[in-house]
Every structure is written in C-alpha cells, then in structure tokens.
Structure 1
Amino acid sequence: MKPELENIPLVKNEEKKRFEIELNSHFAFIDYKETSQQISLIHTEAEPELAGTGAAAAVVEKSLIYIEESGKKLLPFCPYVFAYIKKNPEWKRIVDQRFEGYDKL
C-alpha cells in the first residue's frame, strides 16, 4: 500500500454492504456479503478520479486486515481481490480452504 494511503480509515458501510475508503471526496470500495463465519468480497471499484492512486489496492489490503482481525474466513469472489491474493500469497492464510478456487491461489 502506498504510504500516503496508510492512514486513511477503512469504513464498513453496513447500509450499502461495502468496505470503503474516501480519498479527496472520492471512494474506492468492495461490496461484501457476511455470515457468522465468512466474508465474501464480491466486487471492487474505485471512482475514475482515483485511477492510478493505489486506492483500489489499499481498500483491498485494509479489508483483508479487517477480515483477519475479525477471525472470519474470506471468500474472494471478486477477480481483483483474487488477483491481489495471488500476487500477495501471504493473504491465502485467511481464505476459506473450501473456496472453489483455493488451489489456484
């Protein structure tokens, strides 16, 4: 994560069912679904104004930290999140081993 994004807080917007960060009045977010034991990350998006800022990667990393701290397991349905974990395999530790694509991470 770029150093300038480290102190931006992650917001769990339960009304919109998304994890989000705000940068210069623009949002990067990940839609999620949650059960008592798992959090599914469905879709990552950053507003066009945030292109090239690293905001999408930052919201992914912050969300993974949140999921790990919650003690829940991750289901990375979002292709961006899946690719992020492939590039950063240390995060495989929080992926539910029953996830269909687990062996491809």
Structure 2
Amino acid sequence: MSESSATTVVKRMDTDRRYDIMVDGRHAGLTAYRDLGMRRVFFHTELDKAFAGQGLGAQLVRQALVDVHASGMRIVPVCPYVAKFLKRHDEFADITDPVTPDTLRWLETQLG
C-alpha cells in the first residue's frame, strides 16, 4: 500500500493582498504584500505551527515569486523570510529591487 500525499495549493488572494497556501483544504500559511506601481512589496510571511518543518514556506514563497515574474512585476523583499529565500534562489535576482527607506515609509502608510 502506498502512502498518500497531501494536496498543496497556493492561491493569490487579490482582495486580501496575499498568497495563501492550503494543505488538503486547510489554511497553512500566507505571504502578504502591497503593490507599489509595478513592484510587489512582500512584508510578512507566516505558517501555522501545525505545518512547520515541511518546506511549505519555501513552496509558498517560490510560487508567489513565480506569479510575480509571470505578471511582469518586480519584487521588493521587506519580509525577512522572502529576503532570505531570495538570497538562496538567484533565479529571481533580475526582478528583485532593494528595500529603500522610501519604500519602508510608503509601506508604513499602507499598513497604518
């Protein structure tokens, strides 16, 4: 008998301005963003503790960044997890912009 694997889906939730990762229909985590022109500013990533240690954070961020690339936008990694991911995965370097003080001030106004 073979072991069944979980179904994992990453969805962009435009109204909530985030990407959600679902495992067998259960919400496992998210990475949140705000758009500044043609730049998608990622500022927060979290996983439910019940799903920790399964590589889901990396899967979530990778699929979010692939989506950003496909849309023609650029990435600004304010979120430490996204920034760390990008340091290990240089295939997104050509669409990544640095975090600047102006971007941080803008983000602060967006988040209240």
Q: Same fold (TM over 0.5)?
A: yes
Counterpart residue number, 2:34: 33
Counterpart residue number, 2:108: none
Q: Is the 8 A contact 1:26 1:50 kept in 2?
A: no
- Which stretch of the first structure deviates more once superposed, 10-19 or 69-78? 10-19
CA distance in 1, matches of 2:71, 2:37: 10
Report which of the two structures shows the higher radius of gyration computed on alpha carbons. 2
- Which stretch of the first structure deviates more once superposed, 86-95 or 67-76? 86-95
Find the residue that maps to 2:53 and give its secondary structure: coil
Higher relative CO (CA 8 A, sep ≥ 6), structure 1 or 2?
Answer: 1
| Matched-pair identity in % | 25
2:4 is aligned with 1:11: no
Amino acid at match of 1:16: D
- Which stretch of the first structure deviates more once superposed, 76-85 or 20-29? 20-29
Amino acid at match of 1:91: F
Amino acid at match of 1:36: G
- Which stretch of the first structure deviates more once superposed, 47-56 or 14-23? 14-23
CA distance in 1, matches of 2:20, 2:93: 22
Q: Is the 8 A contact 2:20 2:27 kept in 1?
A: no
Q: Is the 8 A contact 2:78 2:99 kept in 1?
A: no
CA distance in 2, matches of 1:38, 1:85: 15
Q: CA deviation at 1:88?
A: 1.2
1:9-43 Cα offsets, whole Å, 9 max, x none, are 32111232211110131322101001331100111
Q: Mind listing any 5+ residue stretches in structure 1 that lack a counterpart?
A: 101-105
CA distance in 2, matches of 1:34, 1:61: 18
- Which stretch of the first structure deviates more once superposed, 66-75 or 34-43? 34-43
- Which stretch of the first structure deviates more once superposed, 87-96 or 48-57? 87-96
Q: Mind listing any 5+ residue stretches in structure 2 that lack a counterpart?
A: 101-112
Q: How many residues align?
A: 95
